[in-house]
Amino acid sequence: MFCYLLLYLCLIATHKFKCISNNSNKVLKKNDNTKALLYIKLEKHYNILIKKKQKRNKLRNSIDFYIDKFLFSSYENEDRNVYDVNKMNIDSNALDVSRDFLYIQNEINKNVSKSFNEKKFQRIFENQKRYSINSKNPPYVFHPIYSNVDIKKTHRFKIKKYENIFTYLNKEGIYDSNYFIPSNEIKEVFKYMLKAHDSCFINNMLNIIRNNEPVEMYELDLFPDLICRFLVEINGTILSSLLALKYSISMHIGGGNHHSKRDRGDGFCIFNDVAIAIYFLLSNKIIENAIILDLDVHQGDGTAEIFENFKNVKTISLHCKNNYPLLKKNSTIDIELDPFIKDNEYLNLYQNVLRNIKKKESSIIFYLAGVDISKDDDLGLLLISDEGIYKRDYLTYQMAIKNEIPIVTVLSGGYNDCEDILTQKHLLTFKAAKDSWNYMSD
Residue 302 has pLDDT above 80, yes or no: yes
In a domain, 61, yes or no: no
- The bridge status of strand 215-217 relative to strand 220-222 is antiparallel
Residues 6+ apart with CB under 8 A from 423: 161, 164, 165, 168
pLDDT average, residue stretch 130-135: 90
Cα 203 from Cα 222, distance rounded (Å): 14
Query: What CATH number does residue 313 fall under?
Result: 3.40.800.20
Cα 413 from Cα 296, distance rounded (Å): 6
Cα 371 from Cα 377, distance rounded (Å): 8
Alpha carbon 233 to its chain centroid, in Å, reads: 13
Q: Which residues pair with 291 in a beta bridge?
A: 314, 365
Task: Give all strands (DSSP E) within 266-346, no chain letters.
Answer: 289-294, 313-320, 333-337
pLDDT average, residue stretch 355-375: 93
First to last CA, the chain: 89
Full DSSP string of 239-289: HHHHHHHHHSEEEESS---TT--SS--BTTB-S-HHHHHHHHHHHTTS-SE
Q: Which residues pair with 335 in a beta bridge?
A: 318
In a domain, 19, yes or no: no
Cα 157 from Cα 163, distance rounded (Å): 14
HSE-CB for 319 with a 13 A CA cutoff? 31
In a domain, 319, yes or no: yes
In a domain, 71, yes or no: no
Between residues 4 and 317, the one the model is more confident about: 317
User: What's the pLDDT tens digit per position in 155-192?
Assistant: 888 899 999 999 999 989 999 999 999 999 998 899 99
Between residues 234 and 134, the one the model is more confident about: 234
Q: How many domains does the chain have?
A: 1
What is the model's pLDDT at position 75? 57
The DSSP 8-state label assigned to residue 374 in this structure reads: B
In a domain, 43, yes or no: no
What is the model's pLDDT at position 279? 98
User: What's the pLDDT tens digit per position in 48-79?
Assistant: 777 667 777 888 999 999 999 999 986 555 55
Dihedral over Cα of 248, 251, 252, 257: its sign: positive
What is the model's pLDDT at position 98? 45
In a domain, 11, yes or no: no
Q: Which percentage of the chain shows pLDDT scores above 70?
A: 83
pLDDT average, residue stretch 240-248: 97
Domain that holds residue 287: 92-441
In a domain, 235, yes or no: yes
Cα 434 from Cα 313, distance rounded (Å): 27
Alpha carbon 419 to its chain centroid, in Å, reads: 26
pLDDT band at 32 (very low <50, low <70, confident <90, very high): low
In a domain, 275, yes or no: yes
pLDDT band at 197 (very low <50, low <70, confident <90, very high): very high
Query: Where is average pLDDT lowest: 9-18, 51-60, 205-214, 382-391?
Result: 9-18
Cα 148 from Cα 141, distance rounded (Å): 16
Residue 251 has pLDDT above 50, yes or no: yes
Q: Which amino acid is at 235?
A: N
Between residues 385 and 11, the one the model is more confident about: 385
pTM of the model: 0.87
Cα 191 from Cα 193, distance rounded (Å): 5
- The bridge status of strand 363-368 relative to strand 407-410 is parallel
What is the model's pLDDT at position 324? 92
Task: Decide if 410 contacts 240 (C-beta within 8 A).
Answer: yes
Alpha carbon 319 to its chain centroid, in Å, reads: 20
